[in-house]
Amino acid sequence: MPGSVGGVSVMRRQRWVEMDATARGALMRRGLDDIFDPKLRRSIAALIDDVRDRGDIAVCEALARFDGIEVGPEQLRVSTDEFERAAVTPDVDAAIDDAIAHLRAFNEAQMEQAHDWSIESEPGLTVGEKITPITSAGLFTPSGKASYPSVAYQLAVPAVVAGVPSVALVVPPVPGGSGEVDPAVLVVCRKLGVEAVFRVNGPAGIAALGFGTQHIPKVRKIVGPGSPAVTIAQVEMQRHGVATMMLLGPTESLVIADDSADPTLLAADLLIEAEHGTDSTVVLITTSASLADAVDEALDRQLATLPGVRATAARASLGPNGGCVLVDDLDIAVGIANEFAPEHLQVVVTDGAVDLVVDGLVNAGEILVGQHTPFSAANFVIGCPASLPTSGFAHVSSGITADTFLKRTAIARADAAALERMTPSVLALAEHEGFPAHGDALRLRQR
């Protein structure tokens, strides 16, 4: 590979100055080809059409086909009894409470900034905005690889704090079970008052939320991370008038570090997102080749302690999918990070360089500063959004917060004098664009 450096055991290593356009482009594009695979898109589109046409029957058949779970339409919704029985260990229950408290604090502070406003833009003309929650939201929580109560509360707390009147959550049943839903997810929903929870296959559940079925309510907006199939389903549902987020695909992280970083901690932090799956991408950008060497040695040691499936995922994330990029200075590192636009970004540099680096970063789902702010703390407890745009969409979108579930309506009010002042401009533009009724409406008022 252009720019590769020998002698590494875990991280693919490249020098930015030696990477050609193909190598740089491949680093930036990560995952998009899998997400938008034509064959997978056709398959998901057919599934969506089936759910639109046959409703609950299609949802149940998808659950049987893809998840091996046989349930009837009346069993799609999680029962009151299941909610009441759901339980987790005391330490997990306390951790969920801790996380919810932090998320509430963050999102309630954001809501304080989201208030109605108005100004008098000229005498007699008042303009402003009214901010209200969307009427309904659908939340998708994955279940295939592990238990994800953190995803449930990262999605549900912002929706609840925003005041969304109708919130529904869909989640695939526990793999290998008889249809039961992860009790940790139900505990989260119970704590937050989310009662409409449905056991469904991921893509079919996305479609069911978008169209509405006999037992699953139709919603206006759907959010939640998942597999390429789940992501494609959300993208496809936009064609049917449903709002979704772009994109919440395979996880990714990027760390900017200089030689002040502790390589052992740095390796540990790189493994946080790397262990998610073989489709994850993890990148270290550093000015120090010696740090890269030390991190690679630490990674090799720490990988030996991980379960096999997690170690395999991490080696893919740090090897062919990502790796280490050596740069000449931190300005170049910032430029690469902004082009990459990572889901998760950590800055580990000297105190004197922190402001320079952070001020220069504009494209990232989140920015975590220093080695006391690891990705795992942000994923679980800190309270900043952890459901974040992936695959470069941090260029144009943000993480899921209360603001995700709000909308803004413009309001204006003019008196007669203000309208009279604007009339010549309106008439000139109406004539220029060929809309006579636009002008006539104002001419009537001049009589």
Are 230 and 111 members of one domain?
yes
Q: Is 120 helix (H, G, I), strand (E, B) or coil?
A: strand
Specify whether 240 is catalytic: no
Q: What is the pLDDT of residues 433-446, one digit of tens each?
A: 999 999 999 999 98
Are 205 and 270 members of one domain?
no
Are 257 and 239 members of one domain?
no
Of 244, 262, 284, the position where a domain reaches its end is 244
Count of C-beta atoms within a 10 Å radius of residue 40: 17
Count of C-beta atoms within a 10 Å radius of residue 252: 30
| 440 within a domain of the structure (yes/no) | yes
pLDDT class of 411 with cuts at 50, 70, 90: very high
Tokens of 383: 């309270």
Are 436 and 324 members of one domain?
no
- Counting the structural domains of the chain, the total is 3
Mean of the pLDDT values across residues 420-436?
A: 97
pLDDT class of 226 with cuts at 50, 70, 90: confident
Beta-sheet strand order (sheet of 117-122):
117-122, 125-133, 406-414
Mean pLDDT of the chain: 94
Of 244, 261, 286, the position where a domain reaches its end is 244
| 49 within a domain of the structure (yes/no) | yes
Is the pLDDT confidence value at 296 over 50? Answer: yes
Lowest mean pLDDT, pick from 53-62, 130-139, 246-255, 391-400 = 246-255
Lowest mean pLDDT, pick from 2-16, 111-125, 236-250, 427-441 = 2-16
CATH number at residue 269: 3.40.50.1980
pLDDT class of 107 with cuts at 50, 70, 90: very high
What pLDDT is recorded for position 37? 81
Task: Give one DSSP letter per residue of 366-395, joined into a string.
Answer: EEEESTTS-HHHHHHTS-S--S---TTGGG
Are 255 and 178 members of one domain?
no
Are 285 and 378 members of one domain?
yes
Specify whether 344 is catalytic: yes
| 404 within a domain of the structure (yes/no) | no
What pLDDT is recorded for position 29? 86
pLDDT class of 3 with cuts at 50, 70, 90: very low
pLDDT class of 2 with cuts at 50, 70, 90: very low
Amino acid in position 112: E
Are 232 and 87 members of one domain?
yes
Q: What is the pLDDT of residues 330-374, one digit of tens each?
A: 999 999 999 999 999 999 999 999 999 999 999 999 999 999 999
| φ, ψ of residue 407 in degrees (nearest 5) | -135, 155
| 119 within a domain of the structure (yes/no) | yes
Are 54 and 25 members of one domain?
no
pTM of the model: 0.91
Are 386 and 442 members of one domain?
no
Is the pLDDT confidence value at 175 over 90? Answer: no
| 410 within a domain of the structure (yes/no) | no
Are 427 and 357 members of one domain?
no
pLDDT class of 4 with cuts at 50, 70, 90: very low
Are 276 and 233 members of one domain?
no
What pLDDT is recorded for position 234? 93
Mean of the pLDDT values across residues 419-446?
A: 96
Active-site option among 108, 344, 395, 432: 344
Distance CA 410, CA 415 (A): 17
Quote the domain boundaries for residue 221.
38-244
Are 312 and 439 members of one domain?
no
Active-site option among 236, 275, 343, 366: 343
| 407 within a domain of the structure (yes/no) | no
| 8 within a domain of the structure (yes/no) | no
pLDDT class of 6 with cuts at 50, 70, 90: very low
What pLDDT is recorded for position 36? 73
Of 187, 211, 244, the position where a domain reaches its end is 244
